[in-house]
A = this chain, B = another copy of it.
Amino acid sequence: MQPPLPLDVVSAPIADAETGAAMHRLMARLWPICRSLSGQGVRDTLDILAGEMPGLAGHRVASGEKCLDWVVPDEWNIRDAYIIAPDGSRICDFKRNNLHVVSYSLPVDVELDLDELQAHLHSLPELPQAIPYVTSYYRRRWGFCLSHEQRLALKPGRYRAVIDATLAPGHLDFADLVLPGESDEEILLSTYICHPSMANNELSGPVVAAHLAKWLAAMPRRRYTYRFVFVPETIGAIIYLSRHLAHLKEKVVAGFMINCVGDERAYGFMPSRAETTLADRAGLHALRHHAGTFDRYSFLMRGSDERQYCSPGVDLPVASLFRSKYDTYPEYHTSLDDMNLVTPAGLCGGLQSFQRAIQAIEANRRYQAQVLGEPNLGSRGLYPTMSSKDTFKIVFGLVNVFAYSDGKRDLLEIADLLDMPIWELAAAARDLETHGLIA
């Protein structure tokens, strides 16, 4: 006989407006930092996050180390970057917006004509006021990004391009936090910390992850162990898997990518590659009852670290819950993805969906009826004693949790069948369990 589940997480209140505001304030602190795959910006980011999450453990790996099919790149650090125009004015000033420099640009200090300079410039004709976000991690080059309007206004003449950066062997930083639960089975929550100043497609991820961790850390009892992972996208997940794959494959029962969870325009769901894991079921259940309508994406639309977690042979059950998903909103990967796009209310809704998904996982269990035929709920004070036209609807949840506790369906399946949130149904299951009617 299994002991009753701890229901602390299931019955805990979920985020409110104040939590949304706190997340937005944390985002403001992280905003100015120029993050990339590696370098001081990543370390500064992790330091701030560690202040929110006692126990967050930093790790590093040396450039050149082979991880799975990849090699850890050199460390990139940037101090300044700008272009001096023929009229002496300073444009593409990194200090004003860190998107102006192509991430992982080589250091440079050259004079060149506008025609030559154009080969190093990036802009978006279709979004003429946006500075695009461009990277060149694995091919050595340098470049600047600017709005298309700005680019069209450039006059012929001699320009000086300066990038004061170093790209050299060093380290790549990442961090994780493990919150132990009553079971050593784990829920994996992963986000990334490698984009410069962008809000929905970067900072919403780590700030929601940090507050989800705070919420879980405050629980007297947790059924599962929670593992939060903060890594630069792609290479960071590769590194993390190279160090923890056997453990993760053995322990992780569900996982979620936390990214693009900060605006108010939409909710979205993308399944794991396997599509039917506990994470997929819990994530869908959470959004169905929390979000009302939401967009559903195929795994073919993937673009973040679920690409690694769900790759063949790794096969972790990692689904994604979104507000506006990357690559679906016009501001994506530009300077327009800013602190106005992401709001306290948007972040709050994002956090709540993960809280609901986690409640679904913590509350889920397979029960077996312990009496034959329907139980006499009335004799246990669980049923109205007066039968009338509407009686049989009253204890709908109670009666049906019992009726479907056949040792095959789990509570999440029953909740979906009843179209009721499992976090509401958990109390009925507890009542039945307490009275010895299911186990």
Which A residues have a C-beta under 8 Å from some C-beta of B? 68-71, 122, 124, 132, 134-139, 141, 234, 237-238, 241-242, 245, 273, 300, 303, 307-308, 310-315, 327, 332-333, 368-369, 371-376, 378-379, 385-389, 392, 396, 399-400, 402-407, 417-418
Contact = CB atoms under 8 A, between A and B. Distances in A.
Contacts of A379: 71, 138
A308 B376 CA distance: 12
Contact of A314 (B124, B314, B372, B418): B372
Prevailing SS type, chain A contact patch: loop
30 contacts: A68-B371, A68-B372, A68-B373, A69-B373, A69-B374, A69-B375, A71-B379, A122-B388, A134-B386, A134-B388, A136-B386, A141-B386, A234-B374, A238-B374, A241-B372, A273-B403, A300-B396, A303-B392, A307-B399, A310-B403, A311-B373, A312-B403, A312-B405, A312-B406, A312-B407, A313-B372, A313-B406, A314-B372, A333-B388, A333-B389
A403 B307 contact: yes
Contact of A385 (B139, B313, B378, B418): B139
Q: Which of A135, A234, A389, A402 has the most CB of B within 10 A?
A: A389
Contacts of A273: 403-404, 406
Contacts of A332: 389
A241 B307 CA distance: 50
Nearest to A307: B374
A31 to B, nearest CB: 21
Given A371-B69, A372-B241, A373-B241, A139 B404 contact: no
Contacts of A392: 303, 327
Given A124-B389, A136-B385, A311-B402, 7 more contacts: A68-B372, A311-B369, A311-B373, A312-B368, A312-B406, A327-B389, A332-B389
Contacts of A314: 372-373
B134 A70 contact: no
